[in-house]
A and B are shown apart, each in its own frame.
Chain A
């Protein structure tokens, strides 16, 4: 059975990718998972400089999910290239770097540095972090801003670029189209949903940043809908994510139109999830007599062509 998928010029051995912000720099997990067994690893978002992020508390649990406002703590792109990338390369990980910027110039500069480094497979442009004012969300919430960031980085690198889109807009599909027009090789969606939790006893917000991004199974049906909507209007591949906790969830995103999936919050609950996801995908292909997982992408049957399935 063939689990490989193609995202633009990037060939992945399977469609299961660790989501940014949920897998550290990858090296943290080398003791529990064979990093080379994943389709890819999107490392934690990087600016040019180091950042310390928000004070704790940074997370709070919610029904079937969690709220986070980490504030893009990170070691900066140069330290990443010097200190983390060599180990990732040695472990044969497919490394996708989540690139952040406060200005278009910063996105371009970080992307250039990564293009010159050995061992980066692709760039995910973070234009969607909900938790910091200057973290690209001003680009990700504007169609022209999305186009400008993508097209500027496009001129600066040959690496595949995947803008990561925010769901906190009225029409995500129009942003996917702006990214495509800007020269993106694929789009990642969705980032987290802006949300808030208040302690009614103290009347204080439960995280220091007051608001944060909601992830986990609670958001999955919305994310699936957004992947489906984007699939209708763009030709570039989609990396789908939002609350995937097992192979069935991952397959749902692929049927909705995702060429690959990212898994984030579920890795916190079960760091040994990765082989289980791949096994579940193989079981599904076998059960449905499919040779290639790529044959599943975007095959959602909205016209009920197969009425016999419904009646049975």
Chain B
């Protein structure tokens, strides 16, 4: 069940000129969050902007004994709400509704598969908790992580410390491999084939390319969609995604309650 908390900002860590990591005191939401789930956030109490915005729960913060104390979101300054979140001050209250949505299916090591996490930009936010869950199950996990530039590759130590292998790419070549994240992923999948389970979150074009590539190599592929959302609970029907229906038709599924995690093969990519 979703909870709505006026969460205190515990910390606001600027990561670059456009990105920040916001820590929110929402322990009950954090404790109930499964990998891939999201929260609906409103940074102001006025009507401008009016609606909440969806954010992946990036990390669950825990005290020494493992009790959940809060959660973080990875924010990219784009519009009105994300500007407010970039400028948020510790002590400020931010409305946080969640946890929402269907989580990532977490594979088992026993199946002899490995997990390939594919993150584009702010899509990284969907992977920290998933990586923890995979590592806890002793699944060999690789993060393929692409960004515009090296200064926008974040939280690398979080993944390294947990034993996740990193494959980095940047569009400007300033760190990792020069180009798109799909290039090293393709080489990897060509070798590993169906032994790999692919998890993708990032720009829609990246997820579409990854989903097609996964199909080509007979890999299971899940994507976490980032659609414009009004409510997060299935009420507004704004976040729909076209999926294959029977007899060549299609259906619009609400990515808030039928997702955000969906099978990449199910979606009719543009």
Contact = CB atoms under 8 A, between A and B. Distances in A.
A305 to B, nearest CB: 33
Nearest to B245: A52
Contacts of A216: 47, 50
A23 interface: yes
Interface residues of B, number: 30
Contacts of B240: 53, 56, 58, 73
B237 A53 contact: yes
Given A31-B2, A68-B238, 14 more contacts: A22-B235, A24-B233, A32-B1, A32-B2, A56-B227, A56-B240, A60-B228, A61-B49, A61-B51, A63-B47, A64-B48, A65-B47, A268-B235, A269-B51
B234 interface: yes
B228 A53 contact: no
Nearest to A265: B50
A271 B51 contact: no
Given A32-B2, A268-B230, A268-B231, A217 B50 contact: yes
A95 B230 CA distance: 23
B237 A269 contact: no
B231 A52 contact: no
Interface residues of A, number: 36
Interface of B: 1-2, 4, 42, 47-52, 80, 97, 227-228, 230-231, 233-242, 250-252, 257
Contacts of A270: 4
Complex A-B, nearest 3 residue pairs according to Cβ-Cβ distance, in ascending order? A28-B234, A268-B231, A64-B47
A216 B239 CA distance: 19
A59 B236 contact: yes
A217 B51 CA distance: 12
A58 B227 CA distance: 10
B231 A56 contact: no
Nearest to A28: B234
Contacts of B97: 271
Contacts of B250: 52
User: What secondary structure prevails in chain B residues at the interface with A?
Assistant: loop
B250 to A, nearest CB: 7
A70 B1 CA distance: 26
B238 A269 contact: no
Interface of A: 21-24, 28-29, 31-32, 44, 52-53, 55-61, 63-66, 68, 70, 73, 216-218, 245, 265, 267-272
A84 to B, nearest CB: 12
B4 A272 contact: yes
User: What secondary structure prevails in chain A residues at the interface with B?
Assistant: loop
Contacts of A65: 47, 50
B49 to A, nearest CB: 6
A179 B231 CA distance: 33
A218 B49 CA distance: 12
Nearest to B80: A61
A56 B238 contact: yes
Contacts of B50: 61, 64-66, 216-217, 265, 269
Contacts, number: 96
Nearest to A55: B242
Contact of B52 (A21, A22, A32, A269): A269
Nearest to A68: B238
A225 B250 CA distance: 42
Nearest to A56: B240
B228 A56 contact: yes
A66 B230 contact: yes
Nearest to B234: A28
Given A61-B50, A63-B48, A216-B47, A268 B239 contact: no
Nearest to B53: A61
Contacts of A32: 1-2, 233
A22 B227 contact: no
Contacts of B236: 21-22, 59, 68, 70, 268
Nearest to A74: B237
Contacts of A267: 231, 235
Contacts of B241: 56
11 contacts: A24-B237, A28-B233, A59-B238, A65-B47, A267-B231, A267-B235, A268-B231, A269-B51, A271-B2, A271-B97, A272-B4
B237 A268 contact: no
B242 A70 contact: no
A58 B237 contact: yes
A178 B242 CA distance: 40
Contacts of B230: 59, 66, 68, 268
Contacts of A63: 47-48
A27 B97 CA distance: 18
A65 B47 CA distance: 8
Contacts of A24: 233-235, 237
A80 B231 CA distance: 22
Nearest to A52: B252
B95 to A, nearest CB: 8
A278 B29 CA distance: 26
A68 B227 CA distance: 15
A44 B234 contact: no
Contact of A56 (B2, B47, B49, B239): B239
Choose among A23, A29, A59, A66 the residue with the greatest number of B CB atoms under 10 Å from its CB. A59
B237 A271 contact: no
